[in-house]
Structure formats: structure tokens, C-alpha cells
């Protein structure tokens, strides 16, 4: 058996699973996005009506969703970078424990984190109890919850490990002696950071940003539970697939969001190229 | 109807769906589709049900005693029943439990079988008020066996405000940020009662529909958060975050009381809408006789008592109503159903296709999306 044939045979199961569980459904929904739903009937006629509707009615909401997702992703990447840096270069033998703690937080579950923040920020939460106990306020503060910042906070907390772990993986390739040499040669911290560490972590940072951004873009549970009246495009997509059963419009919204999200990720990766010359 | 282990998760959704509900419904839809091919290989006593979670619970003893296995697909909205039946469910599904307002639509779509009344003797025990609902009988044939019911009142905190009189009271400046509103398409009916002169709030012209949704957007501006379930609503009232609501359910009084808060409800002067979920036999049901037997059993006194006492649903068996414990009986206006009927309408949903200037159900959904997007 030739090497090429053996390789193809080994890859085949993964390729089959990936095609069956991801590519085929994606292509199907892409096709559905060009159909229409009328009176509980899926009309299989090719048309661009759903995309026209998205362009006409949901551009503002789409931009708002991308804006929120960008803030969340940048926050998660920044915090993730700091955390990974401390774990790699400052925490010594506790670095592995720090990574393990961040990793284990993924097992807490998504909804549990959302509800935890709802409890923390709510009128009967820890913050309000502390403020009341210290006599700083006379009645619970209501603006902590049910607004866009609480959505950003909750999503950042949830997505933090997704941003941190790829960056931490990139930093493993940086040897201590490289930084020590730079310091010995008189390089200030900022120069070491921008000229050496960040360029070496570019892949990890981009991967972390992409993971966070794509998840945040499509999220619809967090706005419902902690966002108050706030709506993101994901909420409308969920409604189309759920209560309204309008899969074609829901699919068109999804692919429009996906396409613009890829553009943002692409832009971010291009921006990261400014570190190339260093 | 679901009444979750952790309290009132989603008692009556009327068109909204939480994340779990969405996942359950979508997985069930996939399973239903996958199981379709295997249906003929199953035992004859496996009955397929598409309906609200929790409705099968009071039937458990009967199912066990008669060796009937229930194969349920739980829904988050009556719309999903239409979707299931029109996408291959007819001929595979035995029973569905839609809101009575969807029954005419289901009949029009040729998805339901007429009920053989001789096989449902317990119908005689149903209170005439519910049997008189025009949507259950079409062209003289019975298509729906009423099971449970409820209204959509306005909830309020009597310790904080006087009894509201109108749905438009939620727009009062002093209630800014203190309004709880359920995210529900049928709110359009409530708004239509306030801002239009439509005689039937589900038959709106396009302009009336737009006006109603404009009103809802104003109400949305008064809220801090849209409730995703009546449990959420009860919590908001109990915590004092809301003092008045747009949409509601009689049971919210009990749920708030469990949290130590006294809450009351009223049917505003404009009136409201009600719901009555029914057992309907699907056309070409594989187990037609067993489906009839289950619909009949759902009306029996023990099952109705379990639904009224255990699940806190409004029941309609006259003997069971008399035996309800005081607390469960106090939740619904059992003693004044005539007065209830004057304030509450059970209107069939908007027409499937536009009729002249009357907006279709698809138009309603599009307009409601505008509310969600606002």
C-alpha cells in the first residue's frame, strides 16, 4: 500500500464525519436561505428575498452585534494575554496550576456562568448586599444588570479561557533566555512585549480572537438572561428557527452574520501583521 | 405546558421559547424524523404525542395500567405542532395538544381527524362553557377535546399600586422601568384591544397590526427586561423589580406567594385573550382508538384533579372542579365563568393567508419581528 493511499485511508473517517456533520448541513442551510417560507410551507424556489430583507431591516442590528462581539473578544484576548503572560513568565511552578484553573472553568457550564453573573449583579446579589452592608447605598442599585455592559462582562468571563489557552500555547515556544537576553541588552519591557512576545504569539492571539468573536456573534442566551431589553442578531435568528419556523430567513441571517464575522476576523489578522516587521 | 422541577420554568409560552425548550424541541424534531421510518416496527400501544411537556404526567397511571408507551415530542409553541404535522407528521403522530385557537388552522391544513364522540364519553363531564367554544367544532364535527385552560390577566403588586384598569396603564410615567412584559407574539392581541377598534383582535388590517406593534414597542420602552417565562415574571414581581405586567397567568399569584410576595391579577377593561389546550387526534393516526382512549382519560376526574392540583392548570371536569383543594381552586375564576367569558376571548389565530386587507399570520410574525428588533 502506497504512503499516499494509506494517508488518504487514515484521513477518510475524519473527513466523512466532518462532511456529514458540518459541511453537508451547512450547505443545506445555505440552500434553504434562498428558499422562502410561506403559510407553513417551505417554497423551494430560488430567490434573494431573504438576503434583501436582511440588508433592508437588520443591518443596524448586525453592526451592533459585531460591535458587542468585538468588545467582548478584545477584552477576552487582553485579559487572556495578561493571564497567560503571568502564568508563563512570572508564576514559576504555579503557572501550570493557573492554566489548569482556567481550563477547569470551562467545565462549569455556560448557563451556570450566565446565571452566576445574574446573581452577582442582581438587586439581591453580592455586590448590592456589600454596598448596602457598607452603607454606601440605601437601596439596591439596579443599573448593574440588564444592560449591554452586563452582557459584555458575562461573555468576557465565559470566553476568557478560549482566548487565553491558544495564547498560552504560543507562549510556550518562547524561551526564558530570549527575554533575559533582551533585558540584558537594555530593552525596556514595552519593547520586549511589542517587539518579541506579541509577534511570537500572533497566531495564538488571532486564534483566540477568532474563537471568541465567532461565539460572541452568534450568542443569544446571554442577552436574554442578562441583557434586559437588549437584542443581538442571534436572538432574531433563534426566533426564526424556533417560534416563527422561518428557516429560510433564519438561514439568510446566519450566513450574512457569518460572512461579516469572517471579514472582521480577517481584518483582525491583517491588523496583527503590523507586528511582522518587528 | 411545562412546570419545571426548579419552579415555574415556562408554564405557558404562547409563542416564546427558552433555550432549553428550543433544544428539546429541535432534538425531538430530529428524533421524530429519524424514528418515523421505524414506527411500523413498534408495538401497537406506542402512542406518539406532540404536545406540551407535563400534560402526559397526570396520565402516567393510566398508561402504565394499560401498557401504553408514550412517545412524546415536547413543544414550546403550538406553531410547532403545525410544523410537525405539515412536514410528514400526519400518518405517524397520534395525538397533539394545541391551543384551541390553532384548531381551525390545523383543520384547514387537513391535519386533524374528527373525534368520534362515542369513544370519548367523559365529554359529558366537561363544563358547558368550554364545550361551547366554537373553535373545537367545525362544520358540525368535533376536532378537539378540551383539556386545560387559563387566561392572560394583568398582574400587579397591590402593595405598591392600586388595581390597574387598562392595559395602557403600563405606559404611565411612574411605572417606567417597573413593567414586566412577556416576550410573546400574542401580545399583539392585547395591544390591538387598546389601540384599534377591531372587533376580533386576531383579524387586524395591516394598519391596525402596525399600530398594535407600535404600541408594544412603547410598552417595551417601559420595561427593564423582557420576561422569558412566567417564572421570570413572578421573580421580578417578588423582588419588587416589577409592579405591573403586560401579559400574565393566574398562577403567577401562587408562584410569587411561594416567594413571600403578595401579587394580584385583574382582567383590564379592554379584555384579554384566553387559552385552552386540547387533545386532538391526528388524521390517519396509527393508533386511532388508543388516541381516543387517552383523550377520554384526560377528561376523567382523577386525571383532571392531578392537572388542577399538581400542575396548577385550569381544569374543566365539573366533578373534579368541586373536589379541588381551596388553594388550587382560588387560582382560577371557576365560580364566575360567565363573567370570565365576558372579559376573555378565545380567538382563532390570524388567517393563514391575507384576506383582503386582513393581515395573515405571516404578517403578524413579520411585524412581531419588528418589535423584537426595536
B138 lies in a domain? Answer: yes
B123 lies in a domain? Answer: yes
B304 lies in a domain? Answer: yes
**What residues of chain A lie within 8 A of the CB of B370, using their CB?**
57
pLDDT digits (tens, 9 = 90+) for B25-66: 445 544 444 444 444 444 458 999 999 888 888 999 999 999
Tell me which chain B residue has its CA closest to the CA of residue A222. Answer: B19
B86 lies in a domain? Answer: yes
pLDDT exceeds cutoff 90 at B165: yes
Domain extent for A64: 50-276
A28 lies in a domain? Answer: no
Residues B206 and B249 in one domain: yes
Distance, in Å, from the CA atom of A252 to the CA atom of A50, rounded to the nearest integer, reads: 6
Binary contact (A243, B109; C-beta < 8 A): no
Cβ–Cβ contact B372 with A under 8 A: yes
**What residues of chain B lie within 8 A of the CB of A224, using their CB?**
19, 226, 228
DSSP letters for B131-178? HT-GGGEETTEE--EEEEEEE--EEE-TTTSPPP--GGGGG-GGGTT-
Binary contact (B353, A39; C-beta < 8 A): yes
DSSP state of B1: -
> What is the per-residue pLDDT for A58?
96
Binary contact (A239, B372; C-beta < 8 A): yes
Tell me which chain A residue has its CA closest to the CA of residue B374. Answer: A231
DSSP state of B348: P
What percent of chain A shows pLDDT beyond 70?
A: 99
Number of domains in chain A: 1
Q: How many CB pairs under 8 A join A and B?
A: 74
Cβ–Cβ contact B354 with A under 8 A: no
Residues B229 and B258 in one domain: yes
Q: Which of B228, B352, B365 sits opposite A244 (nearest CB)?
A: B365
Binary contact (A231, B185; C-beta < 8 A): no
> What is the per-residue pLDDT for B338?
87
B176 lies in a domain? Answer: yes
- Nearest-CA distance B26 → chain A (Å): 8
The distance in angstroms from the start CA to the end CA of chain A is 47
pLDDT exceeds cutoff 50 at B12: no
Q: Which of A111, A224, A241 sits opposite B228 (nearest CB)?
A: A224
A261 lies in a domain? Answer: yes
Cell digits of residue B287: 393508533
Tell me which chain B residue has its CA closest to the CA of residue A143. Answer: B224
A17 lies in a domain? Answer: no
B280 lies in a domain? Answer: yes
A259 lies in a domain? Answer: yes
Binary contact (A242, B224; C-beta < 8 A): no
Note the residue count of chain A: 278
Helix (H) or strand (E) holding B179: strand B179-182
Domain harbouring A162, CATH code: 1.10.3720.10
Tell me which chain B residue has its CA closest to the CA of residue A144. Answer: B224
Distance, in Å, from the CA atom of B107 to the CA atom of B13, rounded to the nearest integer, reads: 22
Burial class, A187, CB count within 10 angstroms (exposed 0-12 / middle 13-18 / buried 19+): middle
**What residues of chain A lie within 8 A of the CB of B76, using their CB?**
242-243
Binary contact (A39, B220; C-beta < 8 A): no
Number of domains in chain B: 2
> What is the per-residue pLDDT for A278?
54
Q: Is B49 helix (H, G, I), strand (E, B) or coil?
A: strand
Domain extent for B257: 152-271+352-373
pLDDT digits (tens, 9 = 90+) for A116-169: 999 999 888 899 999 999 999 998 898 899 999 999 999 999 999 999 999 999
pLDDT digits (tens, 9 = 90+) for B262-321: 999 999 999 999 999 999 999 999 999 999 999 999 999 999 999 999 889 999 999 999
A25 lies in a domain? Answer: no
- Mean pLDDT score, B235-245: 93
Q: Strands, E, within A71-180: which ranges?
A: none
Residues B80 and B116 in one domain: yes
Helix (H) or strand (E) holding B181: strand B179-182
Q: Do A69 and A261 touch, CB atoms closer than 8 A?
A: yes
B3 lies in a domain? Answer: no
Q: Which of B17, B226, B352 sits opposite A229 (nearest CB)?
A: B226
Binary contact (A239, B369; C-beta < 8 A): yes
Cell digits of residue A6: 494509506
Binary contact (A146, B365; C-beta < 8 A): no
> What is the per-residue pLDDT for B8?
37
pLDDT exceeds cutoff 50 at B366: yes
- Mean pLDDT score, A226-240: 93
What region does B360 belong to: left with phi over 0, alpha with psi -120 to 50, or beta? beta
Residues B65 and B33 in one domain: yes
Residues B28 and B140 in one domain: yes
Query: Average pLDDT of chain A?
Result: 93
Q: Is B345 helix (H, G, I), strand (E, B) or coil?
A: strand
Tell me which chain B residue has its CA closest to the CA of residue A242. Answer: B22
pTM of the predicted model as reported, rounded to 2 decimal places: 0.83
The band of A277, judged by pLDDT with boundaries at 50, 70 and 90, is low
Residues B57 and B129 in one domain: yes
Cβ–Cβ contact B82 with A under 8 A: yes
Binary contact (A221, B19; C-beta < 8 A): yes
Residues B59 and B184 in one domain: no
Cβ–Cβ contact B373 with A under 8 A: yes
- Mean pLDDT score, B230-255: 92
Residues B21 and B143 in one domain: yes
- Nearest-CA distance B366 → chain A (Å): 9
Residues B163 and B32 in one domain: no
Q: Strands, E, within B192-320: which ranges?
A: 223-227, 244-246, 264-266, 272-281
pLDDT digits (tens, 9 = 90+) for A165-222: 999 999 999 999 999 999 999 999 999 999 999 999 999 999 999 999 999 999 999 9
- In 3D space, the residue among A233, A55, A258, A228 whose CA is nearest the CA of residue A148 turns out to be A228
Residues B158 and B287 in one domain: no
Binary contact (A229, B361; C-beta < 8 A): no
B197 lies in a domain? Answer: yes
Domain harbouring B244, CATH code: 3.40.190.10
Distance, in Å, from the CA atom of A196 to the CA atom of A177, rounded to the nearest integer, reads: 12
pLDDT digits (tens, 9 = 90+) for B66-84: 999 999 999 877 888 988 8
> What is the per-residue pLDDT for B7?
34
pLDDT exceeds cutoff 60 at B146: yes
Residues B326 and B357 in one domain: no
CA dihedral sign, ordered B195, A56, B362, B220: negative
Amino acid at each position: 500500500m502506497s504512503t499516499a493511499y494509506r494517508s488518504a485511508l487514515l484521513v477518510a473517517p475524519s473527513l466523512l464525519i466532518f462532511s456529514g456533520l458540518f459541511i453537508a448541513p451547512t450547505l443545506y442551510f445555505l440552500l434553504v436561505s434562498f428558499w422562502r417560507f410561506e403559510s407553513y410551507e417551505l417554497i423551494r424556489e430560488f430567490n434573494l428575498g431573504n438576503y434583501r430583507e436582511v440588508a433592508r431591516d437588520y443591518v443596524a442590528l448586525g453592526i451592533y452585534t459585531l460591535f458587542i462581539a468585538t468588545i467582548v473578544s478584545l477584552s477576552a484576548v487582553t485579559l487572556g494575554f495578561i493571564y497567560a503572560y503571568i502564568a508563563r513568565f512570572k508564576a514559576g511552578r504555579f503557572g501550570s496550576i493557573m492554566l489548569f484553573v482556567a481550563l477547569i472553568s470551562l467545565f462549569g457550564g455556560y448557563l451556570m456562568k450566565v446565571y452566576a453573573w445574574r446573581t452577582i449583579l442582581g438587586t439581591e446579589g453580592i455586590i448590592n448586599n456589600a454596598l448596602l452592608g457598607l452603607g454606601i447605598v440605601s437601596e439596591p442599585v439596579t443599573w448593574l444588570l440588564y444592560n449591554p455592559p452586563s452582557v459584555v462582562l458575562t461573555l468576557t468571563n465565559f470566553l476568557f479561557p478560549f482566548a487565553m489557552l491558544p495564547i498560552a500555547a504560543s507562549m510556550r515556544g518562547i524561551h526564558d533566555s530570549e527575554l533575559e537576553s533582551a533585558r540584558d541588552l537594555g530593552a525596556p519591557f514595552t519593547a520586549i512585549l511589542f517587539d518579541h512576545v506579541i509577534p511570537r504569539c500572533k497566531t495564538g492571539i488571532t486564534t483566540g480572537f477568532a474563537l471568541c468573536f465567532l461565539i460572541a456573534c452568534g450568542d443569544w442566551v446571554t442577552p436574554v438572561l442578562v441583557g434586559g431589553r437588549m437584542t443581538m442578531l442571534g436572538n432574531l435568528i433563534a426566533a426564526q428557527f424556533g417560534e416563527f419556523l422561518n428557516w429560510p430567513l433564519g438561514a439568510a441571517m446566519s450566513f450574512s452574520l457569518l460572512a461579516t464575522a469572517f471579514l472582521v476576523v480577517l481584518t483582525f489578522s491583517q491588523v496583527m501583521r503590523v507586528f511582522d516587521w518587528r | 405546558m411545562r412546570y419545571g422541577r426548579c419552579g415555574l420554568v415556562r408554564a405557558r409560552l404562547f409563542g416564546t421559547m427558552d433555550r432549553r425548550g428550543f433544544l428539546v424541541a429541535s432534538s425531538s424534531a430530529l428524533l421524530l424524523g429519524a424514528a418515523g421510518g421505524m414506527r411500523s416496527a413498534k408495538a401497537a400501544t406506542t402512542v406518539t404525542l406532540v404536545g406540551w411537556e407535563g400534560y402526559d404526567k397526570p396520565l402516567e397511571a393510566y398508561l402504565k395500567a394499560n401498557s401504553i408507551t408514550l412517545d412524546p415530542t415536547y413543544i414550546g409553541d403550538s406553531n410547532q405542532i403545525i410544523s410537525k404535522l405539515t412536514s410528514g407528521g400526519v400518518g405517524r403522530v397520534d395525538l397533539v395538544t394545541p391551543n384551541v385557537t390553532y384548531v381551525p388552522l390545523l383543520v384547514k391544513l387537513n391535519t386533524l381527524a374528527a373525534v368520534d364522540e362515542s369513544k370519548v364519553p367523559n365529554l359529558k363531564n366537561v363544563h358547558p362553557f368550554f364545550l361551547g367554544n366554537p373553535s373545537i367544532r367545525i362544520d358540525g364535527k368535533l376536532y378537539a377535546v378540551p383539556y386545560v385552560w387559563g387566561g392572560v390577566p394583568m398582574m400587579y403588586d397591590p402593595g405598591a399600586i392600586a388595581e390597574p384598569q387598562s392595559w395602557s396603564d403600563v405606559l404611565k410615567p411612574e411605572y417606567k422601568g417597573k413593567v414586566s412584559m412577556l416576550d410573546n407574539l400574542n401580545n399583539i392581541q392585547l395591544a390591538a384591544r387598546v389601540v384599534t377598534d377591531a372587533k376580533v383582535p386576531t383579524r387586524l388590517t395591516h394598519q391596525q397590526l402596525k399600530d398594535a406593534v407600535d404600541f408594544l414597542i412603547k410598552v417595551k420602552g417601559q420595561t427593564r427586561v423582557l420576561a422569558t417565562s412566567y417564572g421570570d415574571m413572578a421573580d421580578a414581581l417578588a423582588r419588587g423589580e416589577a409592579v405591573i405586567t403586560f401579559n400574565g397567568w393566574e398562577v403567577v399569584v401562587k408562584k410569587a406567594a411561594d416567594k413571600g410576595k403578595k401579587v394580584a391579577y385583574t382582567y383590564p377593561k379592554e379584555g384579554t385573550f384566553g387559552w385552552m389546550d386540547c387533545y386532538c387526534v391526528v388524521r390517519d393516526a396509527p393508533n386511532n382508538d388508543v388516541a381516543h382512549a387517552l383523550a377520554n382519560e384526560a377528561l376523567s376526574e382523577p386525571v383532571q384533579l392531578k392537572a388542577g392540583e399538581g400542575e396548577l392548570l385550569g381544569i374543566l371536569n365539573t366533578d373534579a372542579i368541586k373536589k379541588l383543594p381551596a388553594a388550587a381552586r382560588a387560582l382560577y375564576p371557576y365560580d364566575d365563568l360567565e363573567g370570565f367569558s365576558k372579559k376573555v376571548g378565545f380567538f382563532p389565530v390570524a388567517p393563514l393567508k391575507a384576506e383582503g386587507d386582513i393581515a395573515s399570520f405571516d404578517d403578524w410574525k413579520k411585524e412581531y419581528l419588528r418589535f423584537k428588533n426595536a
